[in-house]
Structure 1
């Protein structure tokens, strides 16, 4: 038998080298789902494998590599992020040798002509649009973490690749467990041909759920003798009840002054007395229970760093002398290229001390070389406790024995939201190392607002549906027009997973319309009307009912307007109340006299704190207060009012009644807005007159007939609403595509060639086709209009940063006037770029296209300083545009620099002006140095 290259022989095809030979290479037996997927792949099918984190999905991808090498053909292994690409590249190099494995991530290009190339999905998408020669001989594409196509920002790339790959390329799609795997597999079958769907929900390492209450660890569930899961563990429930009762009794004791507001009750009934266990205590408890190494998920970068600092202030040490020596060796090897001057800026020595003690943070704000060092040490079992943000759960191969969740809510950029069952499953999926641990453990830290049943619900639910985020962009549209023309592009868009999901939803909606039409026929027959016969008009009673419905809607609109006026008047009145004002509450169960203890501090929803004559203290809203009522008087209050103490409330209520004794108190329930009746609506008057003159108004059995007519109108309205949903879902992507084509044609990126030639991409359009950015159209416009001409290399880097940078915190782009731009050239170019962006947004609104993201100049000064000086401290100081002493974390600084490098490289390749291309090339050299160049994975 001839041998294939991975066995040391020559590269040639041999049909005898297949699954049996691959299995011989492995040190473990394949699980049934792995075997099923590999057998399908060997039969020539594509495969979709959905299995839990850590189940061993990547073995199927490695078998595709094996098959490609055995046949003397190519395999591309794609991942959603560069870190995963680097990790997979290292794995494959260890198995097959560096000469047969390449890496393409945008940042790095290593052995790109190798038969097996690991790459980010964007790189493959760009190859497909460019018709790259590297696609010749391609037989397999592995798409690791394919559930990433649900990602709002970058998910569309996956579908572009799936739709554009040649039909003879076999796809190996690896996904986390999703609840609609069959739907996704059905779509793959439709667009890629034979696709075997393999779903495995069995975790290779069982996962046990716990709650940590103080320093005591409890099982979350009660299990029977056969290990079957039942209700919440009664011991846990009893212990929490005792804790709450003890806290309640303690909370009733006198407080020392100076405690501030710590004795306030929390929402949900938990007393403010509760103090969660410290991070060192949690880690020490896990260590005592034999549950390290552990990952503690904290949904805040600062929280992760703060947790390490808290542990460093304690005597906690998790390593011995031998481990510390090995840790030091890894740190020195990985960080040897960092400049001495940068170490203090990077908090290197504190980070190193944490590692030596077995502790580390892991988040996107860290310097990449620091983050990768943590990953290596944790995987080697040398770091025992990591505090991480949820980005670690994305797919980095960094499992632990235990996962700890401090909270079950996280900030999504706009508000704090509860974790979904899918998020909980993904995070806790890191627990349990295959081949190392017999079982994994998930630990939730208890606090008074948290009910065990809530955690049990999350842990028991496996709902994680995969929804497409696919939508045409400018770059995608121009490439589709260039490659296949609008008609074929429509057909391709109709084959997307997004349209597939929309069409499946339409099936049920259309059935609803059909049922509604049948009901309308039946109701029409009751009215003696054949609605299908033409040209028989509607019965008069139906016209009468429509008129009455119009009157009712007009009355409701007037009522809504009146309520809004009253609410606004009440809101204004509450906002104007000041401490000591005496008011009358006329609504709700706390009606009567009241004195304002604390003015409202929220202008949008004013809620002043008051004490009533009946000794009730609390905040009131516009629902409690008459619309425009003014205070009836005022009274003096002590400097500090302890309104939670019964004695204080009693004395103050007595003082209030005395102060109000001589005041005129309004009586009765007057109109809440305090004004006159609203003016009569002329249109409403006219409609009412028309109704009274209508023949249906005088019909015998009028109300009985009206009820039938109203039933008809209700079904008719429901049907119309469903039709709108169908219209929105059907061909929605094609409509968006056509609108984008219209805008691009208007702007000269596409032209109508006349005759049967159809739309054609212009030279400016070919420029746009080579720009891959959220601001693709704006970048292309700036390039073709020469807005960035004449910029020096560092100035160009500063301007391009506005195309990629996004300020954290959800406050929107940094205003240009808030940034101290380094040169007049940068200020001029950015002002022109802003002006052009405004014009584009106006065009997008006119064409009903979702607006592109705005430029954000917040990183311009920092990247300019870095490109001109290479001084990290100065560059980070320049990133503090708010001037509040919070510069960008080093990891964010490096990440944004690399995104600027990516766009600079596109400008270097696509820019129409030779001088600009030269400036981009020099800017790349100036930015890619120091910490930006070290460990650039």
Structure 2
């Protein structure tokens, strides 16, 4: 028992804490704060910047809410930034419930609510634009909360986070909230460099322990050994160690059984848990049962029934495909899956009717409204970017209320939106990255499964991977037990960024600012490691050079001759084989049915008759019949150069190749014809190659002569010296590659900025002033307010007044070509323009894009993407008042995508209207276009 003195001191500390802002804040909460929350909030109250990295659902947003509380207490403003509008909307409503509408505002590009409120929720891009415009809204700003700050790794938008962190005034406290990242200390060190004193608070503890399972057939099986308790598994999973818990032997035996398909299936008995161990809900039901595992992949309805049976709903099933999510809901409806009671179904109907009352009834069919509603009524829904925003919001609301029990979602749901579930299901462990299918990373697995387990509702969460043939239990165990989620910068200067920086700071100071980016911080850090490797290699090279010294002469010179000779011989052989293959392919294209040929190599070696033509131009493989009456295909790799028919027989039009008798008859006729005259071979190409080859042979002969006459050739220890020379050469090549890496990474960001400035100077956007410093010209000022991937292209076109003479609908349609990006690789031109007056504007776009990309290639800069005309007609139709169904007919646009792209067109038009503040006609033209677009399903979304 503590002494009276100790009790007095403890009471004194509690009293002191109660008088702090944090103590007052704690009194407003209905729960006790976790240690990491207290630690982070104490740093905020002490006036230090803080980085909080914690798992999904751990409660890190509480630290951001304390920063807001502190700002209001101090009479300052607080900004809460998020990466996506949906999360901004959600956080806005949460804060309104706490502080009321008068104290909270919302800014999301096209939405402005109470923008001068003391607390404003916004997307990160809005804050970036404020900083460049030196907005008055920044006055009295004390705190900025950057939620989901790990978004700075995003390839297309990540640079915005670094821009904000770098440009925020030093007196503003930044609270950075991140998912669990493995290099939090590195990121914190960079924040400390650019923001001043920054505390890094990392928590890898999940408030709700997570169980890992595999769904085999209709049964859930623990991924790890039964002897591992919930707490022990959580400890292993939350630790930074690479140790992997032991995989359940049931799964290993199942995997092995699948590898031996003829062996009888093993029966697997679920082992009982140890005495005194905590058990999951499904385990208590199954421990007393004994059944065999049936190694098959469960259907989606069967999967839902299995989860429902074991009380593991509500659940989110991640499917890395929009169409896959919609198909999953359709399958559940077709299978008559019902997860709701009659009362719940009635509540869902009423909620949907009220929330969608503003939609045009003409659009309901094209939106798939009735199928979507039927799924909701049954408690099943999809959630992906292709859905109409209002549909997604309804799904989120009903799921949060516990009315929707199963959501099939794409991975975008794992970021930002607050939709925790009791269980998370992964159908597969691979996804399409835009180019190919790749395995998901441990970080992605952690992010996805982090949704499982609702704090304050569930005592444990469950992660489930669906069994399929070829699944490796150890692969899942590796994903589940590692926390490798490094945060890597995607920062790179853009035209707009460069223009703003030059205008505000000049070129020299801008270079220093860019050198302070996290991208350069990481590059410089990696250079240190590379430099160490270079120094180590250089020491080894000195030793190798000493070992290959020869008393007869310069062995490095002799070794160089050997390498040159070897490379020339390999090149000669490779050239001959390549020539022979090309000749073989060309000759195969000339073969006709009935041609009898001789095949020198491969499984078809011998005589054969061609019985058909090949349709593949690159790799022709015509069908042939061998002299043994076997049906095969001719392969160019089995030939020695061009193939010439040695005879010819007739192939009947009705030849039945699948009939053995007809094949034997054809083979017999071929053997009889083989002794006919062999056609003369065309040797012109071969003669050309022989002349080329004879030149190479002469060079080889000269090198061999030099080699033999070299003094080192007669050394008795020559081959030993040669081995050291080969090692020296290989290590020198590797070391030279490392030196090039160092050169590329040193001051890389500043080098890109310099190339951008050179290109902008060629367009007259920047110039060297009287003081010798780089300055933004009046012509380049428009670029400061134009954001987007095609910022410079839009600025150049505006200079050409490419929108002059267009009506508002045509204006919107033309601008869509500058924001839309189709998922296909080829960008097609318009076959027909909605209005003839649009053609000059489109031609201006193409002309400037063509010249710009040429300049970018010359300056070694990434090329600006081509204008995409896929949204021109849909945008024009919508601006002309057509229904959604008419606007997107004959396109592959989903309703949600259409709304998203129209909103981006509105945003671009708004940018142009601000750039054109001296051009009243253009400003009016853009504002009118915005009014035409902002209607129906577009206007109904925040």
Fold-level match, TM-score > 0.5? yes
1:915 corresponding residue in structure 2: 921
In the TM superposition, 1:312-711 aligns within 5 A as 312-525=333-546, 540-571=554-585, 586-587=600-601, 603-604=617-618, 623-624=637-638, 626-629=640-643, 658=668, 661-662=671-672, 664=674, 675=686, 678=690, 679-680=692-693, 682=695, 685=698, 689=702, 692=705, 697-699=710-712, 700-701=714-715, 703=718, 709-711=725-727
The reply to whether residue 172 of structure 1 matches residue 175 of structure 2 is yes
> Do the aligned partners of 1:541 and 1:696 also contact (CA within 8 Å) in 2?
no
The reply to whether residue 729 of structure 1 matches residue 745 of structure 2 is yes
The reply to whether residue 751 of structure 1 matches residue 767 of structure 2 is yes
Residues 1:47 and 1:447: Cα distance change in structure 2 (over 3 Å)? same
The more displaced of 286-295 and 551-560 is 551-560
Q: 1:158 Cα shift?
A: 0.7
Residues 1:196 and 1:631: Cα distance change in structure 2 (over 3 Å)? farther
The reply to whether residue 889 of structure 1 matches residue 894 of structure 2 is yes
Residues 1:571 and 1:96: Cα distance change in structure 2 (over 3 Å)? farther
| SS of residue matched to 1:354 | helix
| SS of residue matched to 1:103 | strand
For residue 218 of structure 1, the aligned residue among 207, 218, 221 is 221
1:5 corresponding residue in structure 2: none
For residue 235 of structure 1, the aligned residue among 250, 253, 256 is 250
Distance (Å, rounded) in 1 between the aligned partners of 2:788 and 2:311: 48
The more displaced of 209-218 and 732-741 is 209-218
The more displaced of 145-154 and 350-359 is 350-359
> Do the aligned partners of 1:626 and 1:674 also contact (CA within 8 Å) in 2?
no
> Do the aligned partners of 1:791 and 1:826 also contact (CA within 8 Å) in 2?
yes
Distance (Å, rounded) in 1 between the aligned partners of 2:927 and 2:137: 25
Distance (Å, rounded) in 2 between the aligned partners of 1:394 and 1:581: 63
Residues 1:805 and 1:675: Cα distance change in structure 2 (over 3 Å)? same
Q: 1:611 Cα shift?
A: 8.7
Q: 1:144 Cα shift?
A: 0.8
The reply to whether residue 805 of structure 1 matches residue 829 of structure 2 is no
| SS of residue matched to 1:519 | helix
Distance (Å, rounded) in 1 between the aligned partners of 2:841 and 2:542: 65
The more displaced of 547-556 and 566-575 is 566-575
| SS of residue matched to 1:430 | coil
For residue 837 of structure 1, the aligned residue among 849, 857, 869 is 849
Residues 1:86 and 1:684: Cα distance change in structure 2 (over 3 Å)? farther
Distance (Å, rounded) in 1 between the aligned partners of 2:662 and 2:524: 66
2:212 corresponding residue in structure 1: 209
Superposed CA RMSD:
3.5
Q: 1:546 Cα shift?
A: 3.1
Residues 1:68 and 1:587: Cα distance change in structure 2 (over 3 Å)? farther
1:899 corresponding residue in structure 2: 904
2:304 corresponding residue in structure 1: 283
Q: Which deviations, in whole Å up to 9, do the C-alpha atoms of 1:772-820 show, x marking residues without a partner?
A: 0110000000111112212111111001001110112x3232x1144x3
Distance (Å, rounded) in 1 between the aligned partners of 2:67 and 2:498: 32
The reply to whether residue 152 of structure 1 matches residue 155 of structure 2 is yes
> Do the aligned partners of 2:553 and 2:711 also contact (CA within 8 Å) in 1?
no
In the TM superposition, 1:192-207 aligns within 5 A as 192-207=195-210
Residues 1:788 and 1:752: Cα distance change in structure 2 (over 3 Å)? same
The more displaced of 692-701 and 96-105 is 692-701
For residue 839 of structure 2, the aligned residue among 822, 827, 841 is 827
Q: Which deviations, in whole Å up to 9, do the C-alpha atoms of 1:194-216 show, x marking residues without a partner?
A: 11112222222222222223323
> Do the aligned partners of 1:802 and 1:859 also contact (CA within 8 Å) in 2?
yes
The reply to whether residue 787 of structure 1 matches residue 802 of structure 2 is yes
Distance (Å, rounded) in 2 between the aligned partners of 1:131 and 1:709: 62
The reply to whether residue 927 of structure 1 matches residue 933 of structure 2 is yes
1:816 corresponding residue in structure 2: 829
Q: 1:834 Cα shift?
A: 0.7
> Do the aligned partners of 1:584 and 1:665 also contact (CA within 8 Å) in 2?
no
Distance (Å, rounded) in 1 between the aligned partners of 2:430 and 2:84: 25
The more displaced of 767-776 and 414-423 is 414-423
The reply to whether residue 33 of structure 1 matches residue 46 of structure 2 is no
Distance (Å, rounded) in 1 between the aligned partners of 2:895 and 2:803: 28
TM-score (norm 1): 0.86
Distance (Å, rounded) in 2 between the aligned partners of 1:618 and 1:169: 75
| SS of residue matched to 2:526 | helix
| SS of residue matched to 2:710 | helix
| SS of residue matched to 2:343 | helix
> Do the aligned partners of 1:901 and 1:927 also contact (CA within 8 Å) in 2?
yes
> Do the aligned partners of 2:569 and 2:700 also contact (CA within 8 Å) in 1?
no
> Do the aligned partners of 1:614 and 1:653 also contact (CA within 8 Å) in 2?
no
In the TM superposition, 1:71-90 aligns within 5 A as 71-90=74-93
| SS of residue matched to 1:816 | coil
| SS of residue matched to 1:223 | coil
Distance (Å, rounded) in 2 between the aligned partners of 1:542 and 1:158: 52
Residues 1:630 and 1:930: Cα distance change in structure 2 (over 3 Å)? farther
Distance (Å, rounded) in 1 between the aligned partners of 2:675 and 2:99: 90
Distance (Å, rounded) in 1 between the aligned partners of 2:341 and 2:25: 40
> Do the aligned partners of 2:216 and 2:295 also contact (CA within 8 Å) in 1?
no
TM-score (norm 2): 0.85
Distance (Å, rounded) in 1 between the aligned partners of 2:707 and 2:253: 71
Q: 1:53 Cα shift?
A: 1.4
> Do the aligned partners of 1:613 and 1:653 also contact (CA within 8 Å) in 2?
no
1:716 corresponding residue in structure 2: 732
